[in-house]
Amino acid sequence: MSKDIKEAAARKANRATFLQTLSAVLWSFFGVRKGSNHSEDMQKLNPVHVIVVGLLAAAAFVVGLLLLVNYVVGSA
């Protein structure tokens, strides 16, 4: 039993946190990423989490642009 627990703990330790996933997505939006970080991300990141965070970040970016344009147009 302890072997199973150790393996489960090791798998959980190798998973990326939300902030690590967010960081990877934001760096990919910016277009800058080290090769070593990319390899590490491929091992740790969950593709579903990356897609969800990417969609949320894209939506936040679009909403931010819309708010900025409305502010600029409204003040002119």
Q: What is the pLDDT of residues 53-70, one digit of tens each?
A: 999 999 999 999 999 999
In this prediction, residue 9 has a pLDDT band, given cuts at 50, 70 and 90, of low
Residue 12 or residue 60, greater confidence: 60
What average pLDDT is seen over the chain?
A: 83
Structure tokens, 14? 């190798």
Across 2-15, average pLDDT: 62
Give residue for tokens 């502010």: 71
Global pTM reads 0.70
Distance CA 43, CA 6 (A): 19
